[in-house]
Chains A and B, each alone.
Chain A
Amino acid sequence: MGGPELFLPSSERELSDWLRSRVAETGPAVTGTGNPGPGSSLPGEDGATGLTMVSTSRMAEVVSFRPRDLTIEVGAGLRMQRLCEIVEDEGLWIPAAGIGAARSIGGWIAAATPTIWDASHGPVRRQLLGCRVAAADGAELTWGRAVMKNVAGYDLPRLMAGSRGRLGILTRVTIRLWPRPEAITAWEIRGDVRSFVLGSGEADAVTWVWTRTRGEQINAMFTGSSDSVRRRAGSLAARARASRAEIVEADVGLVPGVGRGERLPGSVVYLLTPGRRYLPEVFRTLVARNDARLAAIEAIPESGTMLVFLEPDQVDSESADEFLSHFSASGARSGGAGEREPEFGIERGGPAEHQAAEALRAQGARSVEHRLERALGAWPRVWQADYL
């Protein structure tokens, strides 16, 4: 079986027309715009046939750039590297470092990939002010506006962020911009990093990285005026040295998870969301397993999220799933703060009752999701997550 067919529309109209004809002929058997996001399989890998991959890479125009209002509207296919260059030329900034320079802005939003700036600037859904969407039936829908706050009607822009194309294909996005910090610096801490994991008090963002070759390290990021960055980084360095950890200033562009240069090893990526409380335990459990399939882990402790990279040449998707299911069965949470109903302090009975209650709750959330998908004519198999 060959790879999926590729469709490269140059305009919203072309995409909508194609979707309408597609629906009329075969139903919405459409797949996404590029590589799938963490935890998914590539279109066609599971034996599904008749899928066509849609790429928005030709829809990459700058529609409206208002630097003084800190907003920009662009085609969903615009690559992050180009977008960052455009806004940086005007002294502005997108808190999206680390998501991949070749990736499209639409892919980043559709996948809602966490970044190290989530805690300081808000996650992807906060950056998305508005969007245009090609719906399953070909309708061209506009959600949101180029303004900082908007509660008119249901919050469809936020629903689109992270929907991976299931509720329609993003064709244009309007995002919030930030003043470019005068200075951005990165520091690497090695050795005993325990006391720096859950934020240092000085840094604006912290990532916790493990690779098979280099072991553990903390990347501490600082943004702001040159004076502010120098002062706070100096304070962190003094604390690190006092605890006998090694600290060095790093090239921002080369720090894993931060720059646009170096990528972490491994390519089968899983996004886990243990939450702030459980993240250190999950991180250490994974490292302690010493599994040859594990290539790297990158965690953002403040937002409780982590990416797990597996060695691509040692695993197929089945054994990768087995790796993760073994991890889940070990009791480590993959739901994270907010994703599971809290206990409310109510005694729920034994493990069997607890498990049954968990299953019911999962069913409840799925039911809500299905209602939504039915109402919007959504495609459960569409992925708009990465780049081509």
Chain B
Amino acid sequence: MQALHPLPPDVESALLAVVGSNGLITDPVRLLAYEADALTTTRGTPRAVLLPESRRELVEAVRVLHSAGLSFVPRGAGTGLSGGAVAHDTVILTTTRLDQILRIDPEDHTALLEPGVVTAQISIAAAQYGLRYLPDPASATACTIGGNVAMNSGGPHCLKHGVTSDHVLGLEILLPDGTTTWLGRGADGGLDLAGLFIGSEGTIGIISSVLVGLSPLATETRALLGLFDGVGAAGAAVSEVFERGLVPVALELIDQATIRLVEESVFAVGLPTDVAAALVIECEGDPEDVEADLEIAAAACRAHGAQEVRIARDETERLAIWQARKKAYGVLGRAAPDVFVQDAVVPRTELERLLPEIERIARSHGLRLANFFHAGDGNLHPNLMFDRRDAAEVRRVELAGSEIMRLCVDAGGTITGEHGVGSDKVRYMPLMFGLDELDVMNRLHEAFDADGRANPGKVLPAASYQEPD
């Protein structure tokens, strides 16, 4: 394999002068590691990979690329699930070496971070002050805060605590022309400019530092597991929880296919494999309130025929309940070499109707389906398992995926709740937006990236783009 268009020698020299030989990868074999993010079905060959070690190097590298008229793809840890960090003959700019926690301010409840800080590290560092960073994407032990901000990542506990955008106070951004500026959230009477960059998926600039808000540690956190004979009944219990006045911090659904895969793996936690679905419901706060909230959640489960409700008696049991959910994506590898995961969000009350319908679509295409997702948010993650070496099966996955997406959008939903559009869902954007809205987003994009050099081909159904030789 060889990069389609190697860097021009003068550009390569200029970049080497900025990042040094350890910060530039052009060896085709090493470039293989960057041909996909966690959505392995979408692949591309980058021209080169840059790994700056400081914000100064990052800025200088972007300026070199700008002067040369070259585009770039920003990349964090590569854990994204939408093909957002895939580069087709363009340069990848990786921020993983910018991994310093610059400051934690325990009085102001803030942390100032470089973009390559691993998300889980924020809470680990803040714990000594009795603080934590609330968003918890499933990949928190690997993904970076810069990637989280670019994608506006969610996670199980975003149900109560909010998504990444709800916890970012300010950003230093680097525009495609190499200029930098600090943007706040409009608390001084201006526009929420940082909010615009959050979730823009690297298409209007790169995040070069982040100020996040921290929150006090919970006094007590407890979880329960509700086991159901039918997926629809579990979906109905989800709505019941809220109708009883409870907003838990997390409410997740795991289906039978997933439970069986977990129980066959080294992560087995002793779940019954004959149940159709399990709900994981977590509450936190004052111990007496948590006790009362768990009773409400248990009653909601029983009202919809839960055959069993297990309330974790201690932290070990709580973590065991979560293990089934958190290891689910990894164990899918036991069932098939490839997984196509979707990320639609629907109104919560539609779950009861849509879950059996999604199973029907998978069956009709002869595909295996595993479902585990953020039920409290209505954020579905149907996983279609397949082998990408089987072209016919790949085609069936595409058809089933498209049908599921239309089903969810027709139910009032959206095409993505936390994974982002990337390159994977660009084709679905017209399901969500009319020509006027797409035109506004294109104008907005052009205002910051007139030449289309920042993460080309992502998010917006784009005009044709040609990379210069």
Contact = CB atoms under 8 A, between A and B. Distances in A.
Interface stretch (B138-146, B323-331, B416-424): B416-424
A232 B189 CA distance: 36
A344 B181 contact: no
B147 interface: no
A148 B347 CA distance: 8
Contact of B188 (A70, A141, A335): A335
Contacts of A181: 245
Contact of A375 (B200, B347, B437, B444): B444
B199 A155 contact: yes
Contacts of A376: 440, 443-444
A162 interface: yes
A117 to B, nearest CB: 13
Contact of A159 (B179, B196, B413, B414): B196
A66 interface: yes
Given A149-B163, A155-B196, A179 B444 contact: no
Interface string B173-212: 1000001111111111111111110111000000001010
Contacts of B379: 148-149
B102 interface: yes
A152 B437 CA distance: 12
Contacts of A273: 187-188
A339 B184 contact: yes
Contacts of B314: none
Interface in A137-155: 139-143, 145-155
B341 interface: no
Interface string B356-397: 000000000000000000101111000000000000000000
A345 B289 contact: no
Contact of A275 (B108, B168, B432): B108
A335 to B, nearest CB: 6
B432 A68 contact: no
A166 interface: yes
B59 to A, nearest CB: 13
Given A277-B107, A371-B447, A154 B200 contact: yes
B187 A372 contact: no
Nearest to A162: B186
A351 interface: no
Given A148-B379, A372-B196, A126 B242 contact: no
A254 to B, nearest CB: 26
B460 interface: yes
Interface stretch (B71-79, B150-158, B252-260, B271-279): B150-158
Contact of A152 (B184, B196, B415): B415
B243 interface: yes
A17 to B, nearest CB: 15
A159 B163 CA distance: 16
B179 A141 contact: no
B189 to A, nearest CB: 6
B190 A369 contact: yes
Q: Most chain-B Cβ atoms within 10 A of its Cβ — which of A156, A182, A231, A339?
A: A339
Contact of B162 (A122, A179, A276, A371): A122
A135 B440 contact: yes
A125 B414 contact: no
Contacts of B107: 276-277
A69 B348 contact: yes
A140 B165 CA distance: 26
Contacts of A327: none
B448 interface: yes
A150 B182 contact: no
A150 B417 contact: yes
A339 B429 contact: no
Interface stretch (A7-15, A79-87, A220-228): A220-228
B319 interface: no
A368 B170 CA distance: 14
Contacts of A103: none
Nearest to B437: A141
A193 B132 CA distance: 27
A163 interface: yes
A277 B107 CA distance: 6
A367 B440 CA distance: 19
A19 to B, nearest CB: 14
A153 B428 CA distance: 11
Interface string A19-37: 0000000000000000001
Nearest to B163: A149
Contacts of B245: 91, 179-182
B353 to A, nearest CB: 13
A277 B211 CA distance: 15
Q: Most chain-A Cβ atoms within 10 A of its Cβ — which of B292, B374, B421, B444?
A: B444
A364 B179 contact: yes
Contacts of B376: 148
A161 interface: yes
Contacts of A340: 170, 182, 184
Contact of B112 (A161, A224, A344): A344
A235 to B, nearest CB: 10
Interface in A329-388: 334-342, 344-345, 361, 364-365, 367-369, 371-372, 374-376
A241 B252 CA distance: 43
Given A145-B414, A152-B421, A305 B192 contact: no
B239 interface: yes
Contacts of A178: 247
B83 to A, nearest CB: 14
A171 interface: no
B110 A337 contact: yes
Contacts of B289: 224-225, 228
Contact of A225 (B242, B292, B459): B292
A124 B355 CA distance: 32
Contact of A342 (B151, B211, B348, B377): B211
Given A152-B415, A365-B184, A68 B112 contact: no
B191 A163 contact: yes
Nearest to A370: B447
Contacts of B192: 112, 125, 158-159, 161-163
A207 interface: no
Given A159-B191, A365-B184, A231 B110 contact: no
B348 A142 contact: no
Interface in A63-85: 66, 68-71
A152 B447 contact: no
Contacts of B418: 149, 151
B5 interface: no
A147 B446 contact: no
A153 B429 contact: yes
B102 A345 contact: yes
B206 to A, nearest CB: 14
21 contacts: A68-B243, A68-B349, A70-B242, A125-B195, A126-B166, A141-B436, A149-B414, A150-B345, A151-B418, A152-B432, A153-B441, A154-B444, A155-B165, A271-B189, A305-B187, A336-B187, A338-B168, A338-B211, A339-B185, A339-B188, A340-B184
Q: Which 9 A-B pairs have the closest CB atoms?
A: A364-B181, A338-B169, A338-B170, A341-B182, A339-B184, A375-B447, A149-B417, A179-B245, A277-B108
Interface of A: 37-39, 66, 68-71, 91, 112, 122, 125-126, 135, 139-143, 145-156, 158-159, 161-163, 166-167, 178-182, 224-225, 227-228, 231-232, 271, 273, 275-277, 305, 334-342, 344-345, 361, 364-365, 367-369, 371-372, 374-376
Given A153-B441, A371-B447, 5 more contacts: A147-B378, A155-B152, A159-B195, A338-B185, A369-B190
